[in-house]
A = this chain, B = another copy of it.
Amino acid sequence: MARVQRDGGDDSAPTTELPAVRGQGPPAVNGRANGRGAPIPADKARVIPEAAVARLAVYLRVLSGMAEQGAVTVSSEELATAAGVNSAKLRKDISYIGTYGTRGVGYEVDVLTSEIERVLGLTRQQKVAVVGIGNLGHALANYGGFPGRGFPVEALFDVDPDLIGIPVGGLPVNHIDDIPDICATRAIAIGVIATPPTAAQAVCDRLVEGGVHCVLNFAPVVLGVPEHVEVRKVDLAIELQILSFHVARNAEQRASRRTAAARASSNGEVV
């Protein structure tokens, strides 16, 4: 199962700048077959499915845990079970970004890590701004997991005068009127919206004005944005409601099974 090879404690360098493609080896034996470590089918502009991108990020996290434990290679089966997916799906996901495995052996942990980081754009740090430093905003600003993964929080904004200037997580809070300026000058790549829903659209507009192309929205509203801006939403109430649906469905199934059982047991008897 989760067999880890302990071999030479390597310091896992988190920020690998180079793709570390080892393609310079022998020329391809076959015109069609690609050697080991093919970056991507060069001419074929392969579009990675959205669902696969999400899973690649999961693989990346699992890989980093394995690297810390000294694993050098990992098979698709191991990685898949650790990530909670089917191994065929994992291999297909990886095949979208190239062929980095060795048949009969598996994947080199560090190679796979760098390649996934490359396609996810994690070789360059993506600066983050958080708007709305309330309950949720505080948690996000204080969270150490983002800078550690290449997402430094570099600006905080709120409208509350009592908050302006106060440092949160080592960073002072700015006024939302400064969003366009500060985002532009600091080259913020991702804006996180943690304001009340009523303020979310206005905040989003200012982020876009400041040149932010990606928005992560925690407010339960549908944001309107220009074509080139990417919005993802995290709606906790909806997550709870989806869970609630499953509760209801299971309860219903149990009830109908109970009814069926009762009917069966009273079979032949007039009710």
Binding site for B on A (CB under 8 A): 1-3, 5-9, 11-12, 14, 48, 50-51, 53-54, 57-58, 60-62, 82-85, 119-122, 124, 126, 128, 135-136, 138-140, 142-143, 145-146, 149-151, 189-190, 213-217, 220, 222-228, 230-251
Contact B247 A214 (CB under 8 A): yes
Residues of B within 8 A of A244 (CB): 120-122, 126, 150-151, 189-190, 214
Please name 11 pairs of A and B residues whose Cβ atoms are closer than 8 Å in the assembled complex, sorted by A: A2-B227, A3-B224, A3-B226, A5-B224, A5-B233, A8-B233, A8-B235, A121-B245, A135-B138, A151-B244, A214-B243
Residues of B within 8 A of A239 (CB): 216, 232, 234
Residue ID in chain B nearest A142 by CB atoms: B135
Complex Cα distance A149/B220, Å? 12
Residues of B within 8 A of A231 (CB): 5-6
Complex Cα distance A138/B143, Å? 13
